[in-house]
Structure 1
Amino acid sequence: MAVDASGRLYGGAQVNNATDITWKKTTTKDDLPNIFTTTLGTSNQEGNHVTTIKGLWNSFPEKQVFACNLVDANNFCVFGFIYGDHKYGAVLYLAYTSCGIVKCTNGNFSDTKLG
């Protein structure tokens, strides 16, 4: 590992007894897009995760990958991508007792249970 004058990290490798080291820039968390949003939803809503996702659909960011914690009767996490004025997209949800995908095509929702 090495650091240049601007504080950028580099990783190096010396392969097969070579005399030179090949240095490459490393990626830090600041180089990645912020895909995490705040917690959405409220406690004591219906415990149906699909209904919760549909109700919050227009609150999700558009044209970027996102991940967030949702709250209904339980806490669960979602990962998704939505575009086209929120008329298209897919959201994967993972909960302790279930998981699935909620899709939207031209404003029409469908869902698939995965387990």
Structure 2
Amino acid sequence: MTADPWEFQEECVEAFVASWRARGFSPVTVENDIGLLERTLTALGRPAWDVTPEDIDRVVGDLALAGRAASTRREYVQIFSTATVFDVTVGQFLRGCVRVVCSG
């Protein structure tokens, strides 16, 4: 695991992709959604764990000003929410593993 937040975020995205592939998601779905996730993370401009509601509002507002449809704006929010839930779950799992290893 790296100490660089951008590298760590990339590792999280890779784990997210691997989990979708392991669960049998279509390769087209994975590629499309990961592209959307990467665009969302780029637009947010900070690691996912530092994102605030104001950052989400800014990105959605920028998409609206650019003329993007409401459905597109919802997709950006949805993919970020899905990835964040995955990262929180993995983070909780890893913290549990560290506690077991350190206590044993």
Report which of the two has the higher share of strand: 1
Q: Same fold (TM over 0.5)?
A: no
Q: Whose RCO is larger (CA < 8 A, sep 6+)?
A: 2
Question: Max radius of gyration: which structure?
Answer: 1
Q: Shorter-chain TM-score category?
A: under 0.3
Report which of the two has the higher share of helix: 2
Normalising by structure 2, what TM-score? 0.26
Normalising by structure 1, what TM-score? 0.25
